[in-house]
């Protein structure tokens, strides 16, 4: 006789399956086939961005800037609204800080408040996950916005294909995994462009205002996106051009003044709303803003041997992000836009070109700085292929359509494969974790350790009170931080003799730093001399390189000889 409980479970499961099947069959009628395809694209985008989201935690191995953002967001969640840090605008801190504050209603850790510094220091895992989840949401939203933008600018097929391409675009996928500014800024930038396109097409002053506000929020996430004023001014001209009946200088001044009133002012107000302490703490803001511009103008570690940023961004950053087929199609799309000169072309292409020229003039040439224009190059590339398929030829029509389809297929293969491989790579152990375990096992807690950035995540002795507050025990060390070398900045105190005199026992190097320094010895002569002296006077006691299935830099641990005072103390003790 059948078990009544099993029968009930079977009947319930069958009923649920039937309801799911009915819902699936009704979806095309409810939201249309476009909605079904778009839902599948968004689901795929979410899967690629969520896969490996927690890799490496509680240590933020994926990007060193992530900890900077999360620390300021944590302070905001605790009520300190002035981040006192303006190398980035503040909106990212408020977005993640707000999400952290909401999460604090439901979360507690180790018997301490979720908003207690002890909770953040001893186990930052939930804070990383909150920040990364906010960025994933921005990334998936960007995929939807590029669909709307492609549809608004050209056609629904262009929008759908552009969304598919952005869903698997490796640069966008990679930076959707880390809580930094680039993907949220790209999202707000796409929203602004969508409103500017609508304003230009419909002559809508309201859409122009919404676009300017979204552009201000984008600038409040990343300063570079102040370039959105360019498409905003062009959209403003389309909205108000019928009223420009004057002649001479007044004909030139009138649209400029109107752009300032209708675009620049709302942008600035939205920027101030998202970064209010730019106005309330002007000295701190201006100091950090000037220093950040000095850094990008003079370069960063690893970019010393690049002499042409325009070619480097094209041949390395964009090529690595888009793949050769999609990059060529994007350039063809730009050329096609310059030839056709529709309203959408006038909105998108000047922004792409001006932004590209601007960031390529820097000496810090990180690939993520190009992320705001990558979706637009995708839209223009897809538009070029769709235009090829729609060429009005009488004969061999099928051949043209097949050629366009093959181009799109070839364009998506490399980016999709790179994104899938990246998501798969977020597994296994980072070599810095292995080095941390070795140091904690072999190095006494009384030792002083000098360490470069991107080294093993050792617990500093200064943080030990936080572990005591959380009733946790851990091995902690006195850390002597070695500064990150920068072009044109020489640290006169960086030498082995100073380290020994300061009581440093061990030096830990990371190839993320010393490998790039040794690649540009003429730029960092003092740093190179330090490494050579370390080889002469120190002794390598451990070295860790990534093995199969591991990630991370090469970590080298040196043992320094004891200083004069330390040697005398050891002799007296003996």
Query: Which pLDDT does position 242 carry in this prediction?
Result: 58
For the beta sheet containing 555-559, the strands, ordered from the edge strand earlier in sequence to the opposite edge, are 459-460, 476-481, 448-451, 506-510, 555-559, 539-544
Q: Cβ of 520: how many Cβ atoms within 10 Å?
A: 18
Domain end residue (candidates: 374, 405, 425) = 425
What whole-number distance in Å separates Cα of residue 352 and Cα of residue 370? 10
For residue 484, which of 517, 525, 508, 438 has the smallest C-alpha distance?
A: 517
459-468 own/partner pairs: CB under 8 Å, 24+ apart: 463/121, 466/117, 466/118, 466/121, 466/122, 467/118, 467/121, 467/122
Cis bond leading into 282, ω under 30°?
no
pLDDT digits over 98-129, tens only?
999 999 888 755 567 889 999 999 999 999 99
How far is C-alpha 211 from the geometric centre of its chain's CA atoms? 23
Instruction: Band the pLDDT of 2: cuts 50, 70, 90.
Output: very low
More confident site: 476 or 494? 476
Is 346 within a domain? yes
Please check whether residues 291 and 191 belong to one and the same domain: yes
Q: What is the pLDDT of residue 299?
A: 82
pLDDT above 60 for 379: yes
The three-state secondary structure class of 510 is strand
378 and 282 assigned to the same domain: yes
Residues 412 and 436 in one domain: no
Does residue 96 lie within any of the structural domains? no
Residues 340 and 387 in one domain: yes
Are 441 and 413 members of one domain?
no
Number of domains in the chain: 2
**Alpha-carbon distance 201 to 256, whole Å?**
20
Classify residue 205: in a domain, yes or no: yes
User: Considering the domain boundaries, does residue 108 fall inside one?
Assistant: no
411 plus 511 within the same structural domain: no
State whether 420 and 482 are in the same domain.
no
pLDDT of residue 506: 95
Torsion of the alpha carbons at 336, 340, 344 and 350, rounded to the nearest 10: 60
For residue 491, give the 3-state DSSP assignment. Answer: coil
Q: Please tell me whether residues 298 and 413 are part of one structural domain.
A: yes
Per-residue pLDDT tens over the stretch 504-532: 999 999 999 999 999 999 889 999 999 99
Question: pLDDT by residue (tens digit) across 327-367?
Answer: 999 999 999 999 988 999 999 999 999 999 999 999 889 99
Could you tell me which residue, 184 or 573, shows the higher pLDDT? 184
Last residue of a domain, one of 399, 425, 451: 425
Q: What is the mean pLDDT of residues 451-475?
A: 91
* Statement to judge: residues 388 and 453 lie in one domain: no
Of 425, 457, 476, which one is at a domain's C-terminal end? 425
**Using one digit for the tens of pLDDT, what is the confidence trace for 206-257?**
999 999 999 999 999 999 999 999 999 999 988 887 555 444 445 555 666 7
519 within a domain of the structure (yes/no): yes
105 is a domain residue? no
Residue 354 included in any domain:
yes
Cβ-contact 494, 527 below 8 angstroms: yes
Whether 410 has a pLDDT exceeding 90, the answer reads: no
The residue with tokens 């953040």 is 120
- The pLDDT assigned to 185 comes to 97
**pLDDT tens-digit map of 21-48:** 554 455 455 557 788 899 999 999 999 9
Query: Are 269 and 418 in the same domain?
Result: yes
Q: For residue range 64-87, list pLDDT tens digits in order.
A: 899 999 999 999 999 999 999 999
Q: How far apart are CA 273 and CA 286, in angstroms?
A: 17
Helices (H), 426-480: 431-442, 464-469
Q: Which residue has the tokens 């803001």?
A: 285
Determine what percent of the chain is predicted with pLDDT higher than 70: 87
Residue 250 lies in a domain: yes
Q: Does residue 573 register a pLDDT over 60?
A: no
Q: Which pLDDT value is given to residue 248?
A: 43
Please, what is the average pLDDT of the chain? 87
Q: Which pLDDT does position 484 carry in this prediction?
A: 87
Which of 316-320, 368-372, 482-486 comes out lowest in average pLDDT? 482-486
- The answer to whether residue 8 scores a pLDDT higher than 80 is no
Give the orientation angle of helix 374-389 with respect to helix 156-167, to 10 degrees.
130
Instruction: Inform me whether the pLDDT recorded for 317 exceeds 90.
Output: yes
Q: What local confidence, expressed as pLDDT, does residue 568 receive?
A: 37
Q: Which domain holds residue 457?
A: 431-573
């Amino acid at each position: 006789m059948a078990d009544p409980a099993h029968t009930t479970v079977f009947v319930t499961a069958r009923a649920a399956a039937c309801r799911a099947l009915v819902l699936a069959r009704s979806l095309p009628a409810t939201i249309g086939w476009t909605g079904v395809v778009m839902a599948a694209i968004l689901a795929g985008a979410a899967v690629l961005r969520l896969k490996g989201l927690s890799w490496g935690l509680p240590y933020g191995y994926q990007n060193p800037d992530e900890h900077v953002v999360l620390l300021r967001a944590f302070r905001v969640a605790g009520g300190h609204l002035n981040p006192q840090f303006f190398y980035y605008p503040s909106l990212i801190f408020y977005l993640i800080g707000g999400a952290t504050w909401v999460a604090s209603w439901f979360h507690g850790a180790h018997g301490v408040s979720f908003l207690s510094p002890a909770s953040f220091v001893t186990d930052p895992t939930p804070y990383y996950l909150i920040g990364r989840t906010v960025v994933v949401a921005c990334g998936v939203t960007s995929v939807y916005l590029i669909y709307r933008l492609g549809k608004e600018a050209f056609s629904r097929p262009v929008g759908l294909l552009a969304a598919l391409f952005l869903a698997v675009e490796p640069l966008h996928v990679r930076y959707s995994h880390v809580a930094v500014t680039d993907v949220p800024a790209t999202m707000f930038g796409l929203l602004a462009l969508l409103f500017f396109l609508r304003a230009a097409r419909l002559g809508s002053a309201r859409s122009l205002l919404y676009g300017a506000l979204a552009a201000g929020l984008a600038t409040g996430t990343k300063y570079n996106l102040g370039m959105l004023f360019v498409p905003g001014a062009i959209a403003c001209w389309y909205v108000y051009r019928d009223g420009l009946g004057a002649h001479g200088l007044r004909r030139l001044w009138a649209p400029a003044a109107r752009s300032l009133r209708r675009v620049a002012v709302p942008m600035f107000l939205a920027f101030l709303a998202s970064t209010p302490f730019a106005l309330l703490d002007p000295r701190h803001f201006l100091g950090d803003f000037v220093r950040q511009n000095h850094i990008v103008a003079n370069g960063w570690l690893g970019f010393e041997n690049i002499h042409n940023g325009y070619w480097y961004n094209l041949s390395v950053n964009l090529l690595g992000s888009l793949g050769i087929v999609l990059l060529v199609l994007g350039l063809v799309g730009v050329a096609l836009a310059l030839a056709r000169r529709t309203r959408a072309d006038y909105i998108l292409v000047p922004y792409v070109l001006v932004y590209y020229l601007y960031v390529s003039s820097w000496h810090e040439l990180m690939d993520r700085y190009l992320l705001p224009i990558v979706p637009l190059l995708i839209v223009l590339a897809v538009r070029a292929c769709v235009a090829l398929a729609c060429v009005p030829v009488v004969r061999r029509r099928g051949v043209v359509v097949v050629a366009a389809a093959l181009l799109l297929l070839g364009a998506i293969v490399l980016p999709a494969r790179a994104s899938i491989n990246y998501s798969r790579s977020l597994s296994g152990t980072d070599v810095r974790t292995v080095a941390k375990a070795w140091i904690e096992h072999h190095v006494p807690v009384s030792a002083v350790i000098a360490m470069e950035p991107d080294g093993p995540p050792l617990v500093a002795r200064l943080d030990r009170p936080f572990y005591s507050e959380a009733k946790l025990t851990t091995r902690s060390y006195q850390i002597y931080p070695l500064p990150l070398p920068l072009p044109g900045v020489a640290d006169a105190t960086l030498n082995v003799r100073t380290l020994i005199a300061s009581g440093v026992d061990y030096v830990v190097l990371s190839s993320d730093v010393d490998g790039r320094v040794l690649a540009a010895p003429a730029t960092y002569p003092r740093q190179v001399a330090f490494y050579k002296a370390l080889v002469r006077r120190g002794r390598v006691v451990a070295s860790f390189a990534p093995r199969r299935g591991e990630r991370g830099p090469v970590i080298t641990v040196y043992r320094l000889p004891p200083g004069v005072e330390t040697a005398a103390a050891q002799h007296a003790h003996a």
